[in-house]
Amino acid sequence: MKVMLDEMTWREAAERLKKCDVAFLPVGTVEGHGPIPLGCDSYIATAVAKLMAEKTGGIVLPPLMYSFAGATSSFPGTVTVTFDSQIAILKDIVRSLWRQGFRRIFILSVHGPNLMPIGVVVRSLFEEDRIPVVYLNPWNTAVRIIGEMNIEKDSAWLEATLAFGAMKLLGKEHAIPDVEKLKDRYAEAEGKALPEEVRAVQRYGMVGYHYTHELQHQPPRSGVDPDFGVELLNRVAEALLPVVENLKTYLEYVKRPFRYVEPE
Distance CA 163, CA 159 (A): 6
CB of 140 closer than 8 Å to CB of 249: no
Closest CA to 254 of 101, 131, 96: 131
- Burial of 213 per CB tally in 10 Å (0-12, 13-18, 19+): middle
Q: Are 164 and 147 in contact (CB under 8 A)?
A: no
Query: What pLDDT does 262 receive?
Result: 81
**Nearest Cα residue to 106 out of 167, 59, 166, 165:** 59
Of 27-36, 108-117, 128-137, 187-196, minimum mean pLDDT range: 187-196
Is 80 exceeded by the pLDDT of residue 190?
no
Strand pairing of 104-108 and 59-60? unpaired
Please tell me the distance from the alpha carbon of residue 123 to that of residue 128, in angstroms, as a whole number: 9
Q: How many residues does the chain have?
A: 264
Number of other residues whose CB lies within 10 A of the CB of residue 78 = 19
Give the rounded distance of the alpha carbon of 144 from its chain centre: 16
Task: Report the C-alpha dihedral over residues 87, 92, 94, 95, rounded to 10 degrees.
Answer: 130
Under 8 Å between Cβ of 109 and 26: yes
pLDDT digits (tens, 9 = 90+) for 46-89: 999 999 999 999 999 999 999 999 999 999 999 999 999 999 99
What's the average model confidence in pLDDT over 200-226? 93
pLDDT for 193: 85
pTM above 0.85, yes or no: yes
Q: DSSP label at 81?
A: -
Note whether 93 and 25 are within 8 A (CB): yes
Domains and CATH numbers, the chain: 5-255 (3.40.50.10310)
The backbone torsions φ and ψ at residue 2, rounded to the nearest 5 degrees and listed phi first, read -70, 140
- What is the CA 194 to chain-centroid distance, rounded? 25
Q: Which residue has better confidence, 8 or 194?
A: 8
